[in-house]
Amino acid sequence: MKLLVLALCVAGAFAQAPIRCVSPIAWEGRLFEVDPAKRFERFARISYDSGNERTAIREELIEGETREFYEEIFLHREQVGYKINARTRQCSKFDLREPFRRIEVPLNATSYGEAFVGSSSVSGAGVLVNIWGGETERGRYSGTWTSVGCVPVTDNYVSATTGFIHWTFFDVTLGISDPNVFIPPTQCNT
């Protein structure tokens, strides 16, 4: 009898183990990034397409007292990126050396638990998120994803090449409303 109770307790504990969720393949939203050490802030709209390994970011960049507006297109399969000054429309093309980094719960992720962003004690004032983290071949990561839909909320990454990167996502919608955001302007091809 004691063995049966012990077996049921062990089975119950394993049944409650967190299950890695699968994030949406394509989505759009808003992004906030800050690095106080570099006096760097970025507010942006992001279009993310992991199926085609591409990202487009339309940003307001604040460095110290300077404000600039840029569009960035990262086409990882082609290993090329574009940075377009939104005011002057000047375009610079560059090689992408880093592989596409997926904003999803990696296969080797470790669950750090779950928490409410906002409040769990006021109806509608919070969202339950799952917290995951671990190591990749290039660095260490952690992040939060909604428990329903596996929508990214935060993404933290640190490596020797990138340093520390922290992104917060909000106003996320599934799908890409305008696939042309991934096509560089004609002045980029001259």
Contacts of 19 (CB under 8 A, 6+ apart): none
d(CA 167, CA 74): 17
pLDDT digits 0-9 by tens, 143-159: 999 999 999 999 988 87
Question: Taking a C-beta distance cutoff of 8 angstroms, is the pair 77, 92 a contact?
Answer: no
Matching residue, tokens 């952690």: 142
- pLDDT for the residue 128: 94
pLDDT digits 0-9 by tens, 62-111: 777 778 899 999 999 999 999 999 888 899 999 998 889 889 998 889 99
Amino acid identity for residue 140 in this structure: R
pLDDT digits 0-9 by tens, 123-138: 888 999 999 999 887 7
d(CA 104, CA 26): 11
pTM of the model: 0.83
CA 6 → CA 3, 15, 129, distances in Å? 5, 14, 31
